[in-house]
Amino acid sequence: MRAVIQRVARASVTVNGGEPRSIGRGIVILLGVGDTDTLDIVPKLAEKCAHLRIFEDEQGKLNRSAVELGYSALVVSNFTLYGDTSRGRRPSFIRAAKPPLSVDGYEAFLRELSAQGLAGVEHGEFGADMQVDLVNDGPVTIWIDTDDWNR
């Protein structure tokens, strides 16, 4: 799985033109599921995302997590995290998992992330038309690729 985590002041996702689902301060997670991923990596990834120390403490050091501060998360599925442009200008998404693995992985991640103690977890819908709006909270963006854990 691949996750891009962005620290935000606020964020929302509008699904299929409906009512936005929004959070205040917290994290936005773009989640991609790969074709070789298994569900047993989901708990570790959710724990890592929820407990990343990317918020400032009283001394201005990045030493607090969204869970510690009572913040929320907004999760959006993103198969394009597996885009490969090595063969030309048009990306290939052959490494992105197809449903049902993608849906199962996404939904398992949502459940595990909620279990980590975040104040709330809002989310998009896998395969829907989604518009994401966010106001970042400083230049903090983290990339996690679970394939790197096996190297």
pLDDT of 103-148, one tens digit each? 999 999 999 999 999 999 999 998 889 999 999 988 899 999 998 8
Amino acid making up residue 112: E
Distances (CA, A) of 69 to 21, 41, 55, 72, 113: 21, 25, 9, 9, 15
Is pTM beyond 0.95? Reply is no
- 57 token code pair: 């403490």
Q: Is the distance from CB of 50 to CB of 65 less than 8 angstroms?
A: yes
Q: Which of 28, 11, 31 is nearest to 20 (CA)?
A: 11
CA angle centred on 32, ends 43 and 105, rounded to 5°: 45
Tracing tokens 């047993």 back to the chain, one arrives at 40
- Reply yes or no on whether the pLDDT at 42 is more than 70: yes
Give the pLDDT confidence score for residue 151 in this predicted structure: 56
Helix (H) / strand (E) element for 22: namely: strand 21-23
pLDDT value at position 87?
79
Q: Contact 108/37 with Cβ under 8 angstroms? A: no
Structure tokens at 56: 């400032």
Measured from the Cβ of residue 95, the count of other Cβ atoms closer than 10 Å reads 17
Q: What is the pLDDT of residues 43-99, one digit of tens each?
A: 999 999 999 999 999 999 999 999 999 999 999 999 889 888 887 788 888 889 998
pLDDT of residue 146: 93
Rounded Cα distance, 127 and 46, in Å: 21
What pLDDT is attached to residue 92?
Answer: 87
Q: Could you tell me if 129 and 15 are in contact, meaning their C-beta atoms sit under 8 angstroms apart?
A: yes
